[in-house]
Amino acid sequence: MTITDLAAPEAILPALRVNSKKQALQELAARAALLTGQNERSVFEVLLQREKLGTTAVGYGVAIPHGKLPKLEKLFGLFARLERPIDFEAMDGQPVDLIFLLLAPEGAGADHLKALARIARLLRDQEVTKKLRASRDAHAIYSVLALPPASAA
């Protein structure tokens, strides 16, 4: 499974303009609902519930909000580069400007965890995040996400 198996080119938001974590989650939920046919409110609620357990900001300006939906057919990813970094209550205190949303079917189990690990590994790579921050359009961002991992895990 590659990152591009999760996020299609139309699931890339190259310059999302938001002012808060809640607004970011609302915008991402709206786009995810549009692309998956899911209910926007349901997507937003799942993401909010997960954030209540603890922030999904993983440090270095990256957040990976995620959740499971009962009617979802397969894993779904959406990537957003924010125009301006926002506070996401990250452990390292850094504002977030790169967000990878992951939605999974309720019974996804190990696949959901594998996908989360793959995304986290990719976005921990400082070279990758530097390229993502420098990319200005969806095609360029998608190309960076499609790069093979630097080291085989």
For the annotated catalytic residues, the residue numbers are 66
Residues 6+ apart with CB under 8 A from 138: 9, 10, 12, 13, 14
Tokens of residue 14, six digits: 């190259």
Angle, helices 138-145/126-134, rounded to nearest 10 degrees:
170
CA 51 vs CA 9, 46, 73, 125, 141: distances in Å: 26, 9, 23, 24, 26
